Structure 1
Amino acid sequence: MSTGSDLDLVIVGGGIGGVICLKYAKDAGLKTLVLERRERVGGLWRDLPSWQDIQFRKEDWTLGDVPLSEERQPGILRNIEAWVERFDLAPQIVLNAPVTSAQFSAVRWQVTTEGARYQSRWLIAATGGHNRPVVPQVKHDDSSIAEYHSFELRNPQALRGKRVTVVGGGASAYDLLDLCFTYEASSIAWIYRSTKWMRPTRQVKYLGIDVRLLAKYQMLGLSTHAMNRRINEDLRARYKKAGITEIMPESDFDIRRDQLIPGRPRMIQGFRSIERHRGEVQSVHGKTIRLSNGEEIGTDLLLWGTGYAMDLGYLGLDSLTQASGMNKLSARCYSVFRSIDAPNLFLLAPGVLETNTSTPWAYAHVARSIMSHITGGAVFVDPPVQALTNHYDLLKMLAPHDRRNYPFGLWYLKYLRLAMFHPKARPMPIP
């Protein structure tokens, strides 16, 4: 096993978050390496099927002049690779280097891969918040039903003419239901315990959420209570107009804890033809799914839209491994991103994913402030919080302690101008 020289920073994961962090580490003059388990950068977007797309407009994903050709997986993957090319990051990326352990000893992190060991003062866990697909363990008895998690469904043509059952009540399940109508499944059954809020719309998925409007509200000082009131009034009217009030969540939408998911137009249009079941899958046998309430559903294909979990096992910290959900992880961090469980450790994804924001935009601002903290700025010092830090609220959290990047007073005027007047047809500038 070779031993890497002492580094300022190791970034575990070469997805969009890790690559953006590397760009800002390079700008800060830090001796940095990204360790990526795959043969190329891309993270989860390299694993996802080509039909998967983002939840907002490509102009809101794109930053500056780093190109994005389309909203679907191939375009996102090319965008991540474009960051590497645009800022000449490849020399600082080690590919085929899955991290097996990372432990803090004395004053440094000891990071071990299958073929090397590295020492670093700081560590950023950028392995994503969706790096382990979740499939419930159910009893199987001579089953002849084909099963796929949403990330495994490479060829949605397999849905055509089939009896399809979708399990889950969130974004992944909504995607799968939409695909069932797109590829003309013969029948669609849907099993869920509860549902998450979405914004019903007849538009394509990535036009369903407007983060630019949210930015205006935040920079004009609209209170969380007022925003929640407006959003709830809009959502309830949309659910009623779409005729889907039966799946409206029981609790009000609260932007401090809920992600607003864009509606899926085909799912909404065909809603009345979906056979809905409240419950859990208990067992699968032959061509039949049995639910915990005793109901049985005949099916050809079982699609698990049950989401993802975050695997931080390589850190060897029980408090992080046992945390359920990204909100629990971000609540174990100073200022949402610096871990309270180990020194000099940042958890990148929990404070960004599943919030209401543009992911690359948020990663760029967090990464820039992380480098300020590493080089002596003490930015991430506020106590852990339970609420989501959405979009421009992220800036309001970072600015008071990161005067290098947010000069007093001037930063607010700059971002107020961007929120109010930056053309929607143009990407936001790279911070």
Structure 2
Amino acid sequence: MSDQEVEVVVVGAGQAGVAMSEHLSDNGVPHLVLERDRIAERWRTMRWDSLVANGPAWHDRFPGMEFQDVDGDAFATKDQVATYFEAYAEKINAPIRTGVDVTSVTRNEGRPGFRVETSDGVIDARYVVAATGPFQRPVIPPIVPDGATVAQIHSSDYRNPDQLPDGAVLVVGAGSSGVQIADELRRSGREVFLSVGPHDRPPRSYRGRDFCWWLGVLNLWDLETPPAGAEHVTIAVSGARGGHTVDFRALEAIGIQLVGMTDTFADGVLRFREDLAENITRGDLNYLALLDAADAYVERNGLDLPEEPQARILGPDPQAAREPLLALDLAAAGVTSIVWATGFALDYGWLQVDAFDEAGRPQHRRGVSSEPGVYFLGLPWLSRRGSSFIWGVWHDAKHIAGHIATQRSYLTHGG
């Protein structure tokens, strides 16, 4: 027997859950948002101390409210982002219940809806929105065994350089997290090795406009599917220290040793693929392609934006690309820590419905799952390139709320 009945249960009160609540309220749909921790908890406790948003405050926000304590062209800290979502939830009077863990969701037998079992009782819901986002289970590749003498942590557990034991550090992963952590560690005086895989490398800004603006006017945020082979390619961009373009040549210049993708480990020696030059070259091509598209847009629209020819000067390939380091004896190099900036896997073990393929991936179209009444929100490429970003999840939530409202209208037709 259920302790409570509600039309919609939204699981998760991060940016996706808060956005979902706003649009459900706008459609007059009764709902409840359940969060096992606090609002925007991952911004608080699954980020390093110095993290800032990767997009400027004018862009990385919901349309209904600006940041009150951050200049529009500045980059909000992780705590400012969490405070923003708390304030937004209060502004829209979101029905959020914190400290409640959803343990299972199953379809009711012989009647509509779902049984939602939680740490605070059972809820009967007509619809369920999984708004837990993409950062669910940290992934550390099984390369270096746990018994090795080197300390290993995932980037979601990294906080600051003082957290790690004395000695050199290997950072694995060349996306935003990996490059920013490696840069911070090097500036703290550590010797740092950075393992670089395939990546996109946009300019932080070009011709006086942030790359977020360029992706917007060029309709690149609205791409519905990723380019072939680039479904999981990371983006190397940074809002740290006021925002700057990630440049692996500059990272090498401050003393970071670049290596290719981390491949195997045996007898205390890590081996890397001979792909560093290729990965950096492809990142450069991605960077230059965006400059080309931006220049063409300026000319086509007759915009008065200052030319920036120096942005195309890349300089010689890093020394590490010309003379790659393919093996690293961790003890001999003094490496005492590995930080794995290797992303996350989805974990929907609690959602026990027919909404997944054989590999456990959600089956959906723009968040509307193959299981009627179940929805996904906050996932990368849910409907477009921008779906997992703050503003993108808001627009996806609007579509899902509209779908739920339409379904309710069918059910209520004729009483």
Same fold (TM over 0.5): yes
Native 8 Å contact 2:204 2:211 kept in 1: no
Which residue in the other structure is 2:39 paired with? 41
* 1:301 is aligned to 2:330: no
Stretch deviating more after TM superposition (356-365 or 166-175)? 356-365
Partner of 2:145, secondary structure, is strand
* 1:310 is aligned to 2:346: yes
Which residue in the other structure is 2:212 paired with? 211
Amino acid in structure 1 at the alignment position of 2:43: W
Which of the numbers 175, 179, 182 marks the counterpart of 1:170? 175
Which of the numbers 192, 195, 201 marks the counterpart of 1:191? 195
- Tell me the alpha carbon deviations over residues 51-99 of structure 1, each in whole angstroms, 9 at most, x when there is no partner: 222221111012333435352211111111111221222xx21221111
| Consecutive unaligned residues in structure 2, runs of 5 or more | 71-75, 239-244, 274-325, 410-415
Which residue in the other structure is 1:338 paired with? 368
Which residue in the other structure is 2:2 paired with? 3
Deviation of 1:377 (Å): 6.7
* 1:277 is aligned to 2:259: yes
Native 8 Å contact 1:123 1:344 kept in 2: yes
Native 8 Å contact 1:283 1:290 kept in 2: yes
Stretch deviating more after TM superposition (362-371 or 273-282)? 273-282
Partner of 1:151, secondary structure, is helix
* Percentage of pairs with the same residue: 22
1:145-164 equivalent positions in 2, closer than 5 A: 145-158=150-163, 162-164=167-169
Residues 267 and 52 (structure 1 numbering): CA distance in 2 closer, same or farther, change over 3 Å? farther
Native 8 Å contact 1:338 1:347 kept in 2: yes
Q: Distance in 2 between matches of 1:252 and 1:24?
A: 33
Which residue in the other structure is 2:97 paired with? 94
Amino acid in structure 2 at the alignment position of 1:217: L
Q: Distance in 2 between matches of 1:343 and 1:28?
A: 19
Which of the numbers 219, 237, 252 marks the counterpart of 1:262? 237
Partner of 1:17, secondary structure, is helix
Amino acid in structure 2 at the alignment position of 1:370: I
Native 8 Å contact 1:17 1:126 kept in 2: yes
Q: Distance in 2 between matches of 1:284 and 1:376?
A: 58
Residues 78 and 347 (structure 1 numbering): CA distance in 2 closer, same or farther, change over 3 Å? same
Amino acid in structure 1 at the alignment position of 2:128: L
- Tell me the alpha carbon deviations over residues 262-307 of structure 1, each in whole angstroms, 9 at most, x when there is no partner: 255475423253333334354487xx45337883332022111111
Which of the numbers 398, 406, 409 marks the counterpart of 1:368? 398
Which residue in the other structure is 1:69 paired with? 69
Native 8 Å contact 1:211 1:358 kept in 2: no
Native 8 Å contact 1:281 1:290 kept in 2: yes
Per the normalisation by structure 1, the TM-score is: 0.67
Residues 120 and 72 (structure 1 numbering): CA distance in 2 closer, same or farther, change over 3 Å? same
Which of the numbers 255, 271, 287 marks the counterpart of 1:291? 271
Residues 163 and 62 (structure 1 numbering): CA distance in 2 closer, same or farther, change over 3 Å? same
Native 8 Å contact 2:44 2:82 kept in 1: yes
Q: Distance in 2 between matches of 1:198 and 1:280?
A: 20
Amino acid in structure 2 at the alignment position of 1:87: I
Amino acid in structure 1 at the alignment position of 2:122: R
Residues 65 and 118 (structure 1 numbering): CA distance in 2 closer, same or farther, change over 3 Å? same
Amino acid in structure 2 at the alignment position of 1:191: S
CA RMSD of aligned residues (A): 3.6
Q: Distance in 1 between matches of 2:30 and 2:177?
A: 38
Residues 322 and 82 (structure 1 numbering): CA distance in 2 closer, same or farther, change over 3 Å? farther
Native 8 Å contact 1:166 1:189 kept in 2: yes
Which residue in the other structure is 1:396 paired with? none
Partner of 1:313, secondary structure, is coil
Per the normalisation by structure 2, the TM-score is: 0.69
Residues 85 and 118 (structure 1 numbering): CA distance in 2 closer, same or farther, change over 3 Å? same
Partner of 1:52, secondary structure, is coil
* 1:137 is aligned to 2:142: yes
Q: Distance in 2 between matches of 1:209 and 1:159?
A: 34
Which residue in the other structure is 1:31 paired with? 30
Native 8 Å contact 1:259 1:356 kept in 2: no
- Tell me the alpha carbon deviations over residues 303-337 of structure 1, each in whole angstroms, 9 at most, x when there is no partner: 1111112211111258638647xxx64xx312x21
Q: Distance in 2 between matches of 1:84 and 1:314?
A: 25
* 1:83 is aligned to 2:80: no
Deviation of 1:100 (Å): 0.9
Q: Distance in 2 between matches of 1:214 and 1:202?
A: 11
Native 8 Å contact 1:9 1:121 kept in 2: yes
Deviation of 1:258 (Å): 5.7
Q: Distance in 1 between matches of 2:145 and 2:25?
A: 51
Q: Distance in 2 between matches of 1:278 and 1:170?
A: 14
Residues 108 and 202 (structure 1 numbering): CA distance in 2 closer, same or farther, change over 3 Å? closer
- Number of aligned positions between the proteins: 333
| Consecutive unaligned residues in structure 1, runs of 5 or more | 229-250, 380-431
